[in-house]
Structure 1
Amino acid sequence: MQKTILIVHGMRKGKLNELLEDFIYALFDETQIDYDVAFLESEARSLETVVATTVRQGYRVVNLVPLLLFTASHYYEDIADQVQMWKTQYAQVHFLLAEPLGTHPAMADWVSHQMARYAHEIDDATGVVILAHGNARFNEPDIALTYLAQQQTSEQLQCYPSMVYGKLNFQETLPPLAAKYQKLLIVPFFFYDGYLVNKTKRQIEELNLPVEITYTTAINFDPVLKNIILARIAACEEAHHVSDTVELV
C-alpha cells in the first residue's frame, strides 16, 4: 500500500493549521490520492506522529511531499534527516522525498502571470522584485530565486531577487534599486499573505525608500499548487517504479 504525506510548516498553536488543513482537503477533494497531512509545527499532527501512524496502518511506500518553496533548513534538517532515520527504523517501508514546490516550472509561470496582472503598474522606470523567505545558512534559496528572476528578465524589464533572510536580504538589495528606479513592483513569493509578508512590508516601509512601491498578492494557495503537488507525487511514484525495476533485475 502507498500513502502520500503532504508536509506543511504550520504553527504550534492557533487556528492556522486548521485553515491550512481545510484548504488542502478542499484542493484534493476530487482526487483519488491516498494522502494525509502533517505539520512541522504542531502539537497534535507532527510529521513524526503521522509517519508512525502510517507505518502502523501497513503502508509500505510513503511519498513525502513538502509544501515548501525551496530547499533549506526545514527541508534538510526537519525532513530529509528524519527520512534517513526512518529508513533504518522502518526498514520494511520505502520512503521517497519529493522536491520543494517553488522550483517547479509552473511557479515561474505564476510569477509571469502576477506581473501580467500588474502590468498597469509597470513602465520604463519600474524595477520588479521577487521577494522570498530566504535562509542565512543555506544558499539554495538564493540560487533558485536568482534563477527565477532571470527567467522573468527581458530587454524591456529587469527582475531582481530579494530575501527576508540571508545574503539577498531586502535591507541590502532594495536601497540600490531605489536609487536606480522610480518605482518598484514587489512580488511576494510566499504561500499566503500572512504574518511574515505583512511584517516585511512594514520593515520595508521603515526604510523610507525614495520610490513608489506596489505589492502584488502572494501565492495565496493558487490552484497552480495542486498541479505542482500532483507532479511531485507522480515523480515519487515514478522513482519507486524505477527502483523496483532495478531491484527485480
Structure 2
Amino acid sequence: MSALSDTILLVGHGSREASGNQEILAFAEQWRVRCPDWRIEVCFIEFAPPSLHDGLLAATQGARRVIVVPLILNAAGHVKMEIPEAIEHARAHAPQVEFLYAPHLSACDPILSILKRRLRQAMSALDMPDPTTTGVVLLGRGSSDRAANGDMAKMARWLQEAGDHEMVDLAFTGITFPRLERVVQRQALIGIRQVVVLPYYLYTGTLMQRIHRQVEHLRQQYPQLRFVCGTHFGFEPEIFALLEQRVADLQAGTPESKMACDGCSFREIAHDMGHGHSHEHTHAGPAVVQLHGALEGALA
C-alpha cells in the first residue's frame, strides 16, 4: 500500500485521563513500526484531539482511500451511529476519496487468547491456584446496546469453556447490571475463596482507576477472600494482528470485511425521526441505541 494513496485512520474512544490517550498514541507508533509502509493516523471520538471529524478530514489529504479502523472492543452507539455518520460527513467534503470502514475488534478467538493469558497470569499470583475454588469476573464498561453486552457474555462463556473454572461471571462498571460488588457477593456466598477480576478494557483511563479502587474496597469488605485484579489489554500482539487483518481484508475486498453499519438503512430512518448525531460530538444515549435495535430487527 502506498503511503501517498492510502491512509489508515485509527479511531480511539478517548479518555478524560491523559495517560489513556497517550497509550493509544503509543500504540499507533508501535503499529507504524510493525507496518512501515502504511500511513497510520489517529483520532479520538471524544475527550482528546484530534476529533473524529478533524481526523477524517486530515486523513484525506494526499489520500486516494481512507481506511477507518475503530480501536473498540464492542459495537454500540459510537461504532454503529457516530463513526458512520462522521464518515458520511467526510465523504461529502472529500468526494474524490474512497472511505472504507473496518469492523470493531468484537468477540473473537484472538481476544479470548488475551483473556486466557491474563487469567493464567492472575492464577500464578495466587497462593492456592485452584480453579475450582477461584471465581473469575469479566468486568466491562456496560452498554445500553444489548448486542454489545452480549459479546461480553459470549467471551465469559468461552473463557469458562476454555479452562477448569466452574464460575466465570460477567459484571459491568456502569449503565447495566450486574455490578462487580454484587457478583463478588454471590461468589462469596457459595464458598469461593479467591476472585480474579479481569478488566475487559483496551487502555487505561478513569474507569480502570475506578476498578482498582473497587477491588481494594472489596479486599477490605471480604478479608476472607484473596483478590487478584488484572490490567487492561494494552499492547498485546493479538490486537495489532486483528487490526492488520481488518485492513488486509478491506484492501482485498473480502466479503463481509466492511462494517455493516457503514451506510445501513436504520441510520437513515433514525435521521428522519430526528435521532441522528450532529457533527459535534454528542452521546447517542439509550433512546437512540434502543432505536437501533428495533430498526435493525425490523430491517432484518
TM-score range, shorter chain: 0.7 to 0.9
Match of 2:109 in 1: 105
What is the CA deviation profile of residues 44-68 of structure 1, one whole-angstrom value per residue up to 9, with x for unaligned ones? 411211211222x242321111111
Match of 2:120 in 1: 116
Match of 1:219 in 2: 233
Match of 2:56 in 1: 51
Q: What's the Cα RMSD here?
A: 2.7
Whether contact under 8 Å (2:53, 2:90) holds in the other structure is no
TM-score (normalised: structure 2): 0.70
One-letter identity of the residue aligned with 1:100: H
Shift of 1:193: 4.4
Match of 2:142 in 1: 134
Match of 1:182 in 2: 193
One-letter identity of the residue aligned with 1:192: Y
Shift of 1:239: 3.1
Equivalent residue for 1:159, pick from 156, 168, 176: 168
Match of 2:38 in 1: 33
Match of 1:144 in 2: 151
Task: State the distance in 1 between where 2:241 and 2:159 align.
Answer: 21
Task: Map residues 62-101 of structure 1 onto 2, 5 A cutoff.
Answer: 62-101=66-105
Structure 1 pair 106/46, CA: closer, same or farther in 2 (3 Å)?
A: same
2:8 match: secondary structure: strand
* Structure 1 residue ranges without an equivalent (≥5): 244-249
Shift of 1:225: 1.6
Structure 1 pair 107/80, CA: closer, same or farther in 2 (3 Å)?
A: same
After TM superposition, the structure 1 stretch with the greater mean CA deviation from structure 2, 35-44 or 226-235, is 35-44
One-letter identity of the residue aligned with 2:101: L
Whether contact under 8 Å (1:184, 1:214) holds in the other structure is yes
Task: State the distance in 2 between where 1:24 and 1:126 align.
Answer: 36
What is the CA deviation profile of residues 184-214 of structure 1, one whole-angstrom value per residue up to 9, with x for unaligned ones? 1111121234431221232344452463221
One-letter identity of the residue aligned with 1:80: P
Overall identity of the aligned pairs, in %: 21
Task: State the distance in 2 between where 1:72 and 1:79 align.
Answer: 11
Shift of 1:43: 5.6
2:43 match: secondary structure: strand
Whether contact under 8 Å (1:104, 1:228) holds in the other structure is no
Whether contact under 8 Å (1:2, 1:59) holds in the other structure is yes
How many residues align? The count is 241
Whether contact under 8 Å (2:137, 2:197) holds in the other structure is yes
TM-score (normalised: structure 1): 0.83
Structure number with the bigger relative contact order (C-alpha 8 A, sep ≥ 6) is 2
Match of 1:246 in 2: none
Task: State the distance in 2 between where 1:242 and 1:113 align.
Answer: 29
| 1:61 lines up with 2:65 in the alignment | yes
One-letter identity of the residue aligned with 1:161: L
Match of 1:192 in 2: 203
Whether contact under 8 Å (2:134, 2:194) holds in the other structure is yes
After TM superposition, the structure 1 stretch with the greater mean CA deviation from structure 2, 9-18 or 160-169, is 9-18
